[in-house]
Structure 1
């Protein structure tokens, strides 16, 4: 399993560089190394819907492993280096057919919150208070959720569809990519036509209500990550609350604001109906929220 994981990571890194000129940092840290530094990797399973269960990670182990990979003094030990690429990356089931999705309200907020207290019980209380405040400010779950069926539209621009073609045919010839592009373009128009005449087929697109239900707009991996829909006044009220908690030494946080979000879908082959839809704020999203959080960490 470790060998296959290394190959998958390196193949993805190679593909990102060759096709999109993106430099990805990939690495593997043994859990034993994490445990020796008094961190843990605790895993729980949260059922989101009948077809989607989400992994929850606590204990600080993932955060510590990420630091080891990014730190120049330890990165050489844990970073993976491309050698002989014998296999192409496999992105079977990965689909990106949607346009940028507009916020149902005024804004989309990419939010990161990480507790800074050492006691486990107090840490749970910090996250509980944060979530309660979010729902107090933004309202019920259906108001917080950044995706609504009415705003989900198929993607038509050639540039976006050609990117999908490259993902579907990694390391293939330009001819194969172009043929894939044509097939995807025709498939998109066909799906749009079915939508216009009110014909829905799950073989082509997941039902939009189920798609919304299986969206990972809220998750936890050593910190709370959320994509929230709201207006400027609500966001300012949330930031004011988080800043008070930050000044008390309870947590650090980062935010980024946009008017829309991005969605990528994973529909595994022979999935039996399972699918998950990953969302992030547009124009930087979680990445810029993390930068905002790091600036606060550096001030502590």
Structure 2
């Protein structure tokens, strides 16, 4: 029996864990209160969008779900996870109305701006447990400035499956309403080319009935295999990513921020602003409290390139030997009936960013493979 706990600081008060490997252990997670609300979102036909060359757009819509929730909550700490073509999150009970309004706003925005259909749904943690699943969280802090939620227990995966099956979902009357607040959402960095061989997207999930302890053992083995790559397979260069002018994400960012202004006019506005940013990075000139050198150096440590999300997801820069080592671990575990998995290799990774303040170290960077990434890996799950 879980106690109700409406305090919005429940998640914020959890300890921050700096060692990612520790999060492979079930003991590192705590249950969310029964009365909290879980939200999920997923792009309909993401494989088709990838085939059309629109995976950067897919990533932007997935990250927009998180951006809208954070802004709706006044940037309060809340647990969320980015999945490439969707996202999951949880909020305290009093935030439910604002969270659902933000979900609906992102759904309407994605349809209008990109002709992309987005499924969205909410469900209480109590209802998840009544269905025989659980939802527990941990806070992974890869750097001083940011932390990312990790989920275990199967609850988020169950909610997403129920949403896709049509069992849960928010009403969609295709009506009008306020646009989502996507302040801080951007995609200005150039794609990240593989330095070791290939960008490997990995999705690994436990099979039904497999114990958390058995899955944890496989996860630890995969992480150990990945450690053989340079910098543990981190796909963001240690010196930081490149910024080119004009940025490849200019049009996407215009769709995020144009409001009632014509799209072409917003692109011109962004072009001027991005030229100033490019000039600052090019000259390494400080502007007030903003230091290009410091900001770029913070991107890698702040990046979200691996996560536990009712399974394990990673975007790694791998050489052939490391990839083969990872595949051996996965194949043996799959043959024993412990996991199912999917892998997708590509030449580049991409980043979608949330930047509450460019002068502080709280900027967040969601990393995925640039040619389908997590979505293509998930489509290849065995069994």
**For the superposition of Structure 1 and Structure 2, which TM-score range results when normalised by the shorter chain?**
0.7 to 0.9
* Equivalent in the alignment of 2:200: 109
Q: TM-score, normalised by structure 1?
A: 0.87
Q: Which moved more, 1:185-194 or 1:40-49?
A: 185-194
Cα shift at 1:63: 0.7
The equivalent residue for 1:23 is 117
Q: Which has the higher helix share?
A: 1
Aligned pairs, number = 286
Shift of 1:53: 1.1
**Cα offset for 1:218?**
1.0
Structure 1 residues 21, 159: CA separation in 2 closer, same or farther (over 3 Å shift)? farther
SS at match of 1:97: coil
Question: C-alpha offsets along residues 61-111 of structure 1, whole Å, 9 cap, x if unaligned?
Answer: 001111100114x2xx43441454321111001111112111122110011
1:184 maps onto 2:270 in alignment: yes
2:122 is aligned with 1:122: no
| Matching residue of 1:228 | 316
**1:256 matched residue in structure 2:** 344
Cα 1:268–1:151, aligned 2, differ >3 Å: closer, same or farther? closer
**Gap change, CA 1:10 and 1:269, over 3 Å in 2:** farther
8 Å Cα contact 2:302/2:363 also seen in 1: yes
1:62 aligns with 2:151: no
C-alpha contact 1:96 1:164 (8 A) present in aligned 2: yes
Q: After TM superposition, give the deviation of residue 9 of structure 1 in Å.
A: 0.8
Counterpart position of 2:40: none
Alpha-carbon distance change, 270 to 192 in structure 1, aligned in 2, over 3 angstroms: closer
Give CA-to-partner distance per residue, 1:249-290, whole Å, 9 cap, x none: 121111111110111111125995411101110111100001
Classify 1:203/1:80 alpha carbon distance in 2 versus 1 (closer, same or farther; 3 Å): farther
Are the aligned partners of 2:188 and 2:247 in contact in 1 as well (CA < 8 Å)? no
Asked whether the equivalents of residues 115 and 126 of structure 1 are also in contact (C-alpha less than 8 Å), the reply is: no
Report if the CA contact (8 A) 2:218-2:329 is conserved. Answer: no
Structure 1 spans left out of the alignment, 5+ residues: none
Output the aligned Cα RMSD.
2.3
Measure the CA separation in 1 of the matches of 2:126 and 2:258: 37
1:93 aligns with 2:93: no
1:193 aligns with 2:279: yes
1-structure distance, mates of 2:120, 2:175:
16
Are residues 1:7 and 2:96 paired? no
Cα distance between partner residues in 2 of 1:25 and 1:204: 39
Distance 1:164 1:108, change over 3 A: same
Cα pair 2:186 2:354 within 8 Å, conserved: yes
Instruction: Kindly indicate whether the alpha-carbon contact (under 8 Å) linking 1:265 and 1:277 is maintained by their aligned counterparts in 2.
Output: yes
Q: Which residue of 2 aligns with 1:42?
A: 136
